[in-house]
Amino acid sequence: MERRRFLGLTAAAAALGLTATVAGCGTLGGDGGDVTLRLVAADYDLTGGNTTKKYWDELVAAFQAGHPGIKVQVQVESWDDVDRKVAEMVKAGQAPDVAQIGAYADYAAAGQLYSADDLLSIPVQANFLPALAEAGENDRTQYGLPFVASTRPLFYNADLFDKAGLKPPTTWDELAEAAKKLKEEGVRTPFALPLGPEEAQAESLMWLLAGGGGWTDDSDRYAIASEANTETFTWLKDELVGQGLTGPIAPGKLNRKAAFAAFARGEVGMLNGHPSLVQEAAKQGVKVGQAPLPGIDGPARATMGVADWIMGFKQNGHRKEIGTFLDFVFSDENVLKFAGDNDLLPVTVSASSRMETATEHAGLREFLKALPTAQLPPVGKTSWAKVSETIKQDIGKAVTPAGRPADVLGAIARTATTAEAAE
């Protein structure tokens, strides 16, 4: 099993009663002299709008009003491009001061990032959900600061389920039977299985955890070709894909974005969901049901958690100013606004507690409930970027008619061994 990274609150963190409302007034200061920080951030707007840019523009305006010596320039890039563009900037010797992207470990291992200790005031640093803080560590030092998080339950089209007389499945066998019934009812894609290169490493991990495996074992060592993982992909190949229950597009060619869009159009019976899909499906008149992910013999004992990261680069030497800005970013108001507006989960103790009781965030409570047993991918490994990319490109082959799960997983495992040896 992958090392347990529980996202529940530790007693020590809860006892602190943290509020994270320092609003940039931490011990690091940074108001002396005129400094311009450059921030590159990912675009979370699923509809092609400018809500992410508007968020940052408003946050920066409020920050600059209280810190006239620090200016912040914001550059928002799509998720398709942001990691690559930041990597190109760093390689060219033009690193941004702050980057909000998908991975941090390579930069941390190369000595290019400030640590959390370097940047944040003590109350802000102590307020992160413990497992997210741990997942942000490289060589036992935190460099990645969690920005937003999500968990993934099972989504189902409630109207299609009612029409077919179905209840939410709790086991894999029940899931397969429900998918067969939906197919008989004419549903185009009974279960959407996006193993395409957009996010195959995450979709796969949800199934691996439900099957008693994971990308790593309890010691955080890669266990990609384990018996449990092989059995999971064999079941997917034989009982879902091989039975024609995953729709007209081969899983290895289906990306998450396309699967979610099809679900929002009412063409998909079930898929492993994401908080942002709830609102989009509702806009198109699809009633979304949510349930714990099914496992082999009952609900999955663990589900996947995902975090996106924000980090400060050393290159321009703006440690104090970056720290002052990030203290402000992690105030409850800013954390809750971004998470709530994008149907995602906050990354701090205090903001999570507020979201649990806020009526306007009632739709996210099921996702918050999954936090205590959620597990993250091994993002702290510098080898994970290479391993993750290999999974994205190759894992879909495991469920093709000619595919052999053991062979595909074995090849990925060899890539992981080589990548880890090079760390």
Q: 4-18, 103-117, 165-179, 266-280: lowest mean pLDDT where? A: 4-18
Say yes or no: 283 and 317 in one domain.
no
Confidence check: pLDDT of 31 > 50: no
Strand order through the sheet with 288-291: 189-191, 268-272, 154-157, 288-291
Question: pTM here?
Answer: 0.79
Whether 168 is in a domain gets the answer yes
> What was the pLDDT predicted at 17?
42
The one-letter code for the residue type at 336 is L
* Domain containing residue 412: 154-291+383-421
How high is the mean pLDDT of the chain? 90
In a domain, 3, yes or no: no
| Residues 177, 286 share a domain | yes
Please check whether residues 19 and 92 belong to one and the same domain. Answer: yes
Which residue type sits at 341? Answer: D
For the chain, how many structural domains are there in total? 2
Look at the chain and count its residues: 423
pLDDT for 33 equals 55
Same domain, 15 and 124: yes
pLDDT at 343: 87
* Lowest-pLDDT choice from 43-57, 96-110, 213-227: 43-57
Q: Is the pLDDT of residue 370 over 50?
A: yes
Does the residue 42 lie in any domain?
yes
Note whether 182 and 143 are same-domain residues.
no
Q: Do 190 and 182 form a contact (C-beta atoms < 8 A)? A: yes
Give tens-digit pLDDT for 71-91: 999 999 998 899 999 999 999
Residue closest to 321 by CA, chosen among 98, 4, 102, 93: 98
Per mean pLDDT, which range of 138-147, 230-239, 298-307 is the poorest? 298-307
pLDDT in tens, 279-297: 889 999 999 999 999 999 9
